[in-house]
Amino acid sequence: MVKKKKSLASPEPTPGGKVGVYVCHCGGNISDAVDVEQVCAQARRVPGVVVARDNMFMCSDPGQEMIIEDLKSGLVERVVVASCSPSLHETTFRNALVRAGGNPYVYEHANLREQVSWVHHGPEATAKATRLVAAAAAKAAQLKPLDPIRVEVRPRALVIGGGMAGLKAALELAERGQAVVLVEKSPFLGGQVAQLQELAPGGETAAAVIGELAGAVLQHPAITVYTCAQVEGFEGYIGNFKLKITRTSPESAEYSEKLERLSQSGCGPGEYVPFVGLMPAAIPESREEIDLEAGVIILATGMRPYQPRQGEYGYKDFPEVVTLPEFIRALAAAPAAGDTLVLHGRHIRGAALIHCVGSRQIPGIHEENPGGYLNEYCSRTCCAAILHAANLIKERHPQTKFFDFYRDIRTYGRGQEELYTRAAANQVLFFRFEAGEEPQILQNPDAKGSPLLVRVKDVLTFGEELEVPVDLVVLAVGQEPNNISDLVEKMKIPVGADRFLQEVHPKLRPVELSVAGILLAGTCQAPFGVGEACAAAGAAAVKAAAILSRGYVELDPFVAEVDLSKCTGTGACVEACLADGALAMVEMEVGGQKVQRARVNPVMCLGCGACVAVCPENAINIQGWTLKQFESMVDMIVSDEYLEQA
């Protein structure tokens, strides 16, 4: 249910008057290029502006207090802040208006950092800043108090994904008293962590970590777990999402192979199986459809290891070239002791470790992947993982030699730099190569020696070309997001250039999507280690719990509003609308006749203004961004009546 909240603000500001302008130096980010004092002096000439002040950091407590005092004293009724991007601090200043007892929507923001000082220098910077501030003041003079849109929230969270992040988010929510449904597409819980033996850098076993977390989830009475389940239908909005979940028996070869290993293990439901995970219950024998309603959704859809192309570093050309996940799997079946490592009956006297496979790819240097993309990001966990594996083996099998080929080593987290120093102490030999001159994997012409040669130009020896004979090559592959294009399309959620889901802001709103009520957890957002993924899941759970426990949410009222006295029911606005369900033609009685008129669902409305542009009667406007307000801004920008030439 959607309701308009009655404003508790102070009396409505007088139309057209008492605008306060507050200009920020931004610690020099703005004032080094813009004459802030002149901007303030010019702002005082704009009709309606009663005060113009500046501060070194307007977002600081003293800066906000300056605004609050002017509002409380009645000196100003509307506020313009000229500072950095509104995505950083618009909410900060709106909250300041609320603390002063005012309405947060009689506020306008002028961006003088990204739009002026970072792109202009000299007199033109001050001239542009002056006109942007004047335009903001002209709009502010016409702002009216608005009421937020209140939406009741259904008391349930849906978590999509049963890896570490999904399990952690579900448990955190349940322990805060919230009902949770967890949906996992495979028959197993544990995700990619289940494909590991030990976790770097601490050496915890995957069995212990997953077993404890998944066990707590399965035993919690507030959590319902559906495996072999996928989201087939989606509609609704924050507080009132409606989804159709379909459960089917697994048919892919991947799951069949895991189920076979599960049956061979002798373990049953609720028991962890290495490189399989934990199966919570029997698999559905037939198709089952479940309708769910939820107030919030947490996406924890995870990642997959990069799969090298055939021939990339000799992968699939030589059986001795394996990825790190494949190597870890093989280690589980290897003898735990002995002078040299033995894999599949072969003694490994020397092994090459190659970093950045499928990560930090550079346009024009590296070949595009089959989908036509490059992974230009660092996957963050590969260096620590492969060094941890090298240390583990070297300390068990001291006669096996390791040769580490890297572009850069990025062991960035707590305890991870020690992995590098420990590897050096374990006599792992390091060779550094440059991008575009990656190691080449060749057949060793010496039939009596090791089967492969690694040829590389070593930066550490000033470009000397080396050939290193090895019995095994291990590729430290990076992380890629799982393919969730179906969810992206259904939920209209944003995806970054790196194909991971895109948060609103990496610092201020790190686990929120632009679609209200849908949150992020773990490696669907970026490459993370297990600790980071669980921390992100905890943050998402706290955010979700805050929404659910309150029972309602308040949304900004910058949405379309229909003037029924002007609307003639052409339907052009509905055709132009970009959000399904935001606008509809409904039947109503006008002058004793039944007619069709436009009606807005404010929760679904994007506030984009597409409907405003096509209405022939000017019968629709965006609250807080009306055509009249736009016109006043444009008039002030082009006018020289109140602004002296800078």
DSSP string for residues in 358-369:
TSS--TTTSPPP
Q: How many domains does the chain have?
A: 4
- Token readout for 211 is 């077993």
Residue ending a domain, among 525, 553, 581, is 553
Residue 265 confidence (pLDDT): 85
Alpha-carbon span 80 to 72, nearest angstrom = 16
Same domain, yes or no, for 212 and 70?
no
Taken in order 146, 152, 155, 156, is the CA torsion positive or negative?
A: negative
Residue 646 confidence (pLDDT): 42
CATH number at residue 114: 3.40.50
> Residue 637, exposed/middle/buried by CB under 10 A (0-12, 13-18, 19+)?
middle
Same domain, yes or no, for 333 and 297?
no
- The answer as to whether 261 is a domain residue is yes
- Please give the average pLDDT of every successive group of 10 residues along the chain, which has 646 residues: 46 67 97 97 95 97 97 97 93 96 96 97 94 96 95 97 98 98 96 94 94 96 96 94 92 79 85 92 84 98 96 97 97 92 95 98 94 95 96 96 97 92 96 96 94 97 96 98 96 96 92 95 97 97 96 94 94 93 92 92 92 95 95 92 62
Specify the DSSP element, H or E, that contains 71.
helix 61-72
Same domain, yes or no, for 278 and 381?
no
Same domain, yes or no, for 519 and 564?
no
- The answer as to whether 641 is a domain residue is no
CATH number at residue 598: 3.30.70.20
- The answer as to whether 307 is a domain residue is no
- The answer as to whether 352 is a domain residue is yes
Specify the DSSP element, H or E, that contains 468.
strand 464-470
Residue 260 confidence (pLDDT): 86
Same domain, yes or no, for 573 and 608?
yes
CATH number at residue 325: 3.50.50
| C-beta neighbour count of 188 within 10 angstroms | 25
- The answer as to whether 419 is a domain residue is yes
Residue 1 confidence (pLDDT): 52
- The answer as to whether 645 is a domain residue is no
Same domain, yes or no, for 537 and 565?
no
Same domain, yes or no, for 416 and 547?
no
Residue 254 confidence (pLDDT): 73
CATH number at residue 522: 3.50.50.60
Same domain, yes or no, for 293 and 162?
yes
Residue ending a domain, among 526, 553, 580, is 553
Residue 322 confidence (pLDDT): 98
- The answer as to whether 503 is a domain residue is yes
Range of the domain at 457: 312-471
Same domain, yes or no, for 176 and 124?
no
Same domain, yes or no, for 58 and 135?
yes
Same domain, yes or no, for 69 and 116?
yes
Whether the CB-CB separation of 619 and 566 falls below 8 Å is answered with yes
Taken in order 316, 318, 321, 325, is the CA torsion positive or negative?
A: positive
Fill in the amino acid letter for 517: G
Same domain, yes or no, for 89 and 175?
no
- The answer as to whether 635 is a domain residue is no
